[in-house]
Structure 1
Amino acid sequence: MTTEPLRIDIISDVMCPWCIIGYRQLTAALEKTGTPHEIHWHPFELNVNMPPEGQDGFEHVAEKYGATREQSVQNRAQMTALGTDLGFDFQFADNSRMHNTFNTHQLLHWAGEQDRKNDMKQALFTAHFTHRRDLSDNAVLADIAAEQGLDRDEALAVLTDQRYAKTVRENEEFWVNQGISGVPAVVFNRRHLVTGAQGVENYTNILNQLANLES
């Protein structure tokens, strides 16, 4: 009997620390359970109206969530510890910034046409959270594409002419219309929605439950 791979749709934004934490937890659970799977990334902008110059990280969290600087520092420490356990290096700093990500989603769409979306997604997470690179700068995005072995000039052209702007916006709107209002959001086999970073144990339980449902 041939087992179809589990389809996993992940709606996320590279500005979201819980998205990379959740992804690493999920992939650990997938490895633990030996689940055949295929991952499909989809765009979501946490801050659609983020200005091109971005915003100070502490200021942004205070403005959006009402968190004090002390609470933000504690949250960053918690995320850093979780990242370490999962093999991801968060390097938060006092000058860490949030950036507009519309162009990152266009770059990801372009990379996806070359079957490189997952590689690009991981590179963008690392660029933002580990190396604190400015992902609102098209030249930086083109550099990251080149580091992934993709054509830098073509990447820059895609971003300059906004080739995939309409497609990305439509994709974003699709998921919002499905009721997605926060990320990470993970949809298994187009039917089962799980939100937030669930932890390796919870994801493992979810995968085992899905396996029983499909058997």
Structure 2
Amino acid sequence: MNDSSSNTIKVDIWSDIACPWCFVGKRKFETAVAGFDGKVEVEYHSFELSPDTPVDFEGDEVDFLATHKGLPREQAKGMLDNMLGIAESVGLHYDYDSLHHTNTVKAHELIHFAKANGAQLDVVERLLSAYFEKGRHLGRIDVLADIAAEAGLDREAAVAALESNQYLAAVRADQAQAVEYGINGVPFFVFENKYGVSGAQDPATFGQVFSQVASEKTAGDEQSPRGEDAPAEVTR
């Protein structure tokens, strides 16, 4: 292992662009990264919370929670109001009145297209903001291609990739890996294929894991990658 890779902590993140906690967790994780005195490499992986959702869902987010999750409408509205406050606490401005609930598989394909073209982190951020803050319909290829172009990627190439399902196999591979790891909710953060952190934890929690992993690296106490074994979950 060269010096660069040995001094870099790899974090694999399973998330869904329709997951409100994933955007909040992203912000908290980024705060921890900013406070960590070391290099961090991040890779995003696909997870669909509601793969049976139609591209053009009829109704708002309250309707979705009521019909798909079986929640009373008042309870669903209360949950969304609570989520608005949580998002604001990390500088995010969710707009549930404008949100288009949709199937997210094409958005995940775009994330893999962006990864292949060196812009994954930028596109993930743009997708989450587009979904939760800007009311853009991320089930539509033309909207996704616009976002790719806004990130500096080739719009026509993005359209071709999405229309041909070029990266669908990569999405399914991520989902299969999540099953192997026992991941049943997102966000889920895997540090160095060894330690898993579930949920939008506080920056201090992520910071503790960074410190632990960095200490092991410094001590030369790295375990071999776990492969398809589940990473040890350090918090719930």
Q: Do these two structures clear the TM 0.5 threshold for a shared fold by scoring above it?
A: yes
Match of 2:131 in 1: 128
Change (3 A) 1:37 1:55: farther
Distance 1:51 1:65, change over 3 A: closer
Corresponding residue for residue 48 of structure 1: 51
CA RMSD of aligned residues (A): 2.0
**Counterpart code for 1:148:** A
Q: Does 1:4 align with 2:13?
A: no
Give the letter aligned to residue 116 of structure 2.
E
1:49-97 per-position Cα deviation (integer Å, ceiling 9, x unaligned)? 222223532122234444333333332233222322322221121x633
Any gaps of 5 or more consecutive residues in structure 2? 219-236
1:169 is matched with which residue? 172
| Equivalent residue in structure 1 for 2:121, among 111, 118, 138 | 118
Structure 1 window deviating more from structure 2 (192-201 vs 168-177): it is: 168-177
Unaligned runs of 5+ in 1: none
SS of 1:97's partner is: coil
Q: Which residue of 2 aligns with 1:102?
A: 105
Whole-Å Cα distance in 2 between the matches of residues 79 and 169 of structure 1? 29
Q: Which 10-residue stretch deviates more, 167-176 or 4-13?
A: 167-176
* Match runs of 1:148-167 below 5 Å: 148-167=151-170
> TM-score, normalised to structure 2's length?
0.83
State the structure with bigger RCO (CA 8 A, min sep 6), 1 or 2: 1
Shift in Å at residue 101 of structure 1?
0.9
Larger mean CA deviation between 27-36 and 123-132 belongs to 27-36
Q: Distance in 2 between matches of 1:64 and 1:34?
A: 43
Which of 59-68 and 160-169 deviates more?
59-68
Q: Which residue of 2 aligns with 1:185?
A: 188
In structure 2, what is the equivalent of residue 71 of structure 1? 75
Local SS of the residue matching 1:190: coil
- Paired AA for residue 63 in structure 2: E
Post-superposition offset of 1:174: 2.2
CA distance in structure 2 between the aligned counterparts of 1:210 and 1:54, rounded to whole angstroms: 43
SS at match of 1:33: coil
Q: Once structures 1 and 2 are overlaid, which stretch shifts more, 11-20 or 24-33?
A: 24-33
Moved over 6 A (4+): none
Question: 1:74 and 1:200, CA in 2 relative to 1: closer, same or farther beyond 3 A?
Answer: farther
C-alpha contact (below 8 Å) 2:7/2:38 kept by paired residues: no
Number of aligned positions between the proteins: 214
Decide which of 56, 60, 72 is 2:64's aligned counterpart: 60
**What one-letter code is carried by the residue in structure 2 that aligns with 1:79?**
M
User: Which residue does 2:149 correspond to in 1?
Assistant: 146
Aligned partners of 1:138 and 1:156 also within 8 Å: yes
Distance in 1, Cα, partners of 2:65 & 2:216: 40
1:127-178 Cα distance to aligned partner (Å, 9 max, x none): 1001111100111111111111111111111111111222322222222232
Deviation of residue 29 (structure 1)?
Answer: 1.1
Amino acid corresponding to residue 101 of structure 1 in structure 2:
T
